[in-house]
Structure 1
Amino acid sequence: MSPGGRIGDVPIDTPATDPVVLHASPAAAGGAAHIETPVPYDGILLASFGGPEGQEDVIPFLRNVTRGRGIPDERLEEVAHHYRHFGGISPINAQNRELKTAIEGELARRGIDLPVYWGNRNWGPFLDEAVREAAEAGDTTLLAVATSAYSSFSSCRQYREDFARVLTDTGLAGTVTIDKVRQFFDHPGFVAPFVAGVREAVAGFLAEGVEAAAIHVLFSTHSVPIDDARRSGPRDREWGDGGAYEAQHLAVAEYIMAQVADEYADAATVPWQLVYQSRSGPPTQPWLEPDVCDVIETLPAQGGRAVVIVPLGFVSDHMEVKWDLDTEAMDAAAEAGLRAVRTPTPGIDPAYVAGLVDLVEERLHGTPAADRPHVTDLGPWFDVCRPACCENIRAGFKPAASGIAP
């Protein structure tokens, strides 16, 4: 697709001046929204959040997560108890080891000879270690796969800023390039495990005699500050207070419920909504609402007898899922007298793993945008992020890879 094409109903207009895409492969450096020429990548960079792997890691890890915000250790301890409840160990690193192995297996199955380097933003192995390892092996044209499906500062641009920072800090800028696969919120490989999970949960409650109208499906994702949410996605469309971040979740949730209703006619009357969790800002700062637990408390008064909690914003069962949903939300459901099921995250589901490798192949082969799979009208999303996409209102624009400046 040319820079003047469209994504869903959104026009894509490259600025009249030459775009600047830092640290990009030659194919992506021009700033086209979708790269439709093959790129000879020689390595994949699996980029994730990271997490502590012992009690002594918890506070240093949280310092990394909140760096630059001046939060004292006493306040960090308020969050630390979530990790300490699980022995100071976040599941995320073990899950990423499994995901890396699964991706390597799928690459081998397809005959794609590319190494996978894994690095985290906030805990070891760090991104700079992964990029150095790749460079030392002679793999300098990297394609990043971040373990985050949606558009927002923390789920997309912050990774891109970290790529730029790492290349500068390691002195590898000009030697190593890092492109990034498109946001995959509506790729069928990511969505399929959620469809299966919701279908099974709804069918189970129907089989138990719960009326469809008494089954509530809550699609949960990480809350973000409203000021950041408004700035998620490209600036050439009015998305509303929730920005592209909210719009993407709503579009995927609507698709999932339609798929379930296609198989179970009664499911067409199952009520559903998008809810939020895991907010961490001060009470005076507006964040996306409503909170999942607050909503659960209201369901009995609406005739609710059962709730299906869907971790739509998450790719694996990391701490926000294990604590905020499996602990707090399930406790809220029990207190409300509701039957409750939490559906699976994609994890290493074969459909999800295959979908990630599909995204890699899109860029290896330069697949035309018109031929790229997507299940909502918003996709396929951009290969190269558009100007001013997903600004962090508190810090402004920092140099970022895989997108047109700023």
Structure 2
Amino acid sequence: MTDPSPSSSAASGGPETTQVPFATEASIGGPRHVSAPQEYDAVLLAGFGGPEGQDDVIPFLRNVTRGRGIPDERLEEVATHYRHFGGVSPINEHNRQLRQAIEDEMRRRGLDLPIYWGNRNWAPYLEDTVREAAEAGHTRLLGVATSAYSSYSSCRQYREDFARAILDTGLEGVVRIDKVRQFFDVPGFVQPFAEGVADALQGFADQGVAPDQIRVLFATHSIPSADAERSGPQELGLGEGGAYAAQHLAVGGQIMEQLREAGQASADTQWELVYQSRSGPPSQPWLEPDVCDRIAELPDEGAKAVAVVPLGFLSDHMEVLWDLDEEAMEAAEEAGLQAVRTPTPGVHAAFVSSVADLIEERMQATPVAERPHLTDLGPWFDVCRPGCCENVRRGFSPAAAGVKP
């Protein structure tokens, strides 16, 4: 991808060039990649949120499904997943750990930026976090969303969260929020997955499973097909599944190629992208195939073992603990397959280091040619493109960190 030089007026950041709401001067004109260094007061870690006790579960699920009119009786069906783990999603604790790890790494590098953390669906809410930051005098924030890929729910909705937090707190014109580029193919995000796949393949080999009897299933959250087609900039023409599918496929391919070159994987070991955690009505097309459906088919294809890789997830939150550790592993047992679920990045040192790299990259306006990336799709955009990641059902709501709409 190339970064066209901004016009002189856009580079000046004058009011007439304001294409990106709530942005700092380096981003307000809408460059694909910023070319001017930028000072920030703090980093804003944005999460999904999760319940931390049995009494939180239904209120949390009401927040997640707000505006969709889903009765509590239906929500209770999903609540059983959380109740299985005491009503606690591990996602909040993970974000506490990630926040601390990033802060420690930044301090190690001599960067004394506070790290604020806020959620979309549960306390601490982003609105409260942005207000807290502003009251402390931190009004120039660099956002890090806890999702690596392009889609409405994994990128644009976080940008809408930033905009809503500014508008609902009355801080428009006071607080500015930019966002680091999507990090699906930065080395530190990919490395933990590659290590997990290598360990799984070695484990199967130690048990006498031949390479051509092993399948690697890279799993990510399914989304509506119409949203997937609109993920990422339409100008890229990435085809069926849009940027969402293309990014996952590129990373999965990179991992397998990397392991084959290192002698840790065989060319005979097949891999593919699968989906999980579908929640839409049966009449609405979502991305397929489903991970459990594919596992059930593998014995007829000669498979004896399967590695399930949670490629779409930063940490072991509920979709990993329930949909993969419970349901996918049960499907593998029923199919008579040896199976393992590999780790998520969590607070792996390489991942934390890459997050710090992304923060420094944006502060310093690192030239595009010097930005680390492992696939031909990267480095991704600093400022999301017009109409990027539209939600078909909702249309466009105000969003930060991207060119309107």
Please, what TM-score do these two structures have when normalized by structure 2?
0.96
Kept in 1: contact 2:32–2:384 (CA 8 A)? yes
Q: Give a deviation string over 1:323-349, Cα, whole Å, max 9, x none.
A: 000000001001111111110000000
Q: How far does residue 263 in structure 1 lie from its aligned partner after superposition? A: 2.1
Kept in 1: contact 2:27–2:383 (CA 8 A)? yes
2:257 is the counterpart of 1:258: yes
Kept in 1: contact 2:202–2:264 (CA 8 A)? no
Q: How far does residue 71 in structure 1 lie from its aligned partner after superposition? A: 1.1
Q: How far does residue 55 in structure 1 lie from its aligned partner after superposition? A: 0.7
**Residue equivalent to 1:270:** 269
**Residue equivalent to 2:27:** 28
Distance 1:234 1:203 in 2: 39
Kept in 1: contact 2:201–2:265 (CA 8 A)? no
Task: Provide the secondary structure at the position in 1 that maps to 2:356.
Answer: helix
Q: Give a deviation string over 1:139-189, Cα, whole Å, max 9, x none.
A: 110000010000000000000011111100101110000000000000001
Letter in 2 for 1:352: F
Letter in 1 for 2:67: G
Kept in 2: contact 1:202–1:267 (CA 8 A)? no
Q: How far does residue 19 in structure 1 lie from its aligned partner after superposition? A: 5.9
2:201 is the counterpart of 1:202: yes
**Residue equivalent to 1:354:** 353
Q: CA RMSD in A?
A: 1.2
Task: Provide the secondary structure at the position in 1 that maps to 2:384.
Answer: coil
Distance 1:396 1:365 in 2: 34
**Residue equivalent to 1:297:** 296
Distance 1:284 1:391 in 2: 20
Residues 1:19 and 1:134: Cα distance change in structure 2 (over 3 Å): closer
**Residue equivalent to 1:84:** 83
Distance 1:2 1:192 in 2: 26
Q: How far does residue 36 in structure 1 lie from its aligned partner after superposition? A: 2.0
Q: Give a deviation string over 1:9-36, Cα, whole Å, max 9, x none.
A: xxxxxxxx95610000011001001112
Distance 1:266 1:24 in 2: 44
Kept in 1: contact 2:55–2:87 (CA 8 A)? yes
Q: How far does residue 264 in structure 1 lie from its aligned partner after superposition? A: 2.2
**Residue equivalent to 1:190:** 189
Task: Provide the secondary structure at the position in 2 that maps to 1:236.
Answer: helix
Kept in 1: contact 2:222–2:288 (CA 8 A)? yes
**Residue equivalent to 2:175:** 176
**Residue equivalent to 1:58:** 57
Kept in 2: contact 1:148–1:314 (CA 8 A)? yes
2:309 is the counterpart of 1:321: no
Kept in 2: contact 1:385–1:403 (CA 8 A)? yes
Q: How far does residue 400 in structure 1 lie from its aligned partner after superposition? A: 0.4
2:245 is the counterpart of 1:225: no
**Residue equivalent to 2:399:** 400
Letter in 1 for 2:85: F
Q: Give a deviation string over 1:180-236, Cα, whole Å, max 9, x none.
A: 000000000100000111011112212221110000000000000000000000011
Kept in 1: contact 2:17–2:28 (CA 8 A)? no
Distance 2:55 2:402 in 1: 37
Distance 1:235 1:298 in 2: 34
Q: How far does residue 4 in structure 1 lie from its aligned partner after superposition? A: 2.4
Letter in 2 for 1:237: L
Q: Give a deviation string over 1:254-276, Cα, whole Å, max 9, x none.
A: 00001111122652210000000
**Residue equivalent to 1:236:** 235
Residues 1:164 and 1:53: Cα distance change in structure 2 (over 3 Å): same
Distance 2:113 2:80 in 1: 40
Between stretches 380-389 and 66-75, larger displacement belongs to 66-75
**Residue equivalent to 2:4:** 4
What 5-or-longer segments of structure 2 have no aligned partner? 6-15
Residues 1:269 and 1:220: Cα distance change in structure 2 (over 3 Å): same
Distance 2:302 2:144 in 1: 42
Letter in 2 for 1:66: T
2:275 is the counterpart of 1:288: no
Distance 2:129 2:18 in 1: 28
| Percent identity of equivalent pairs | 66
Please, what TM-score do these two structures have when normalized by structure 1?
0.96
Distance 2:264 2:40 in 1: 46
Kept in 1: contact 2:198–2:265 (CA 8 A)? no
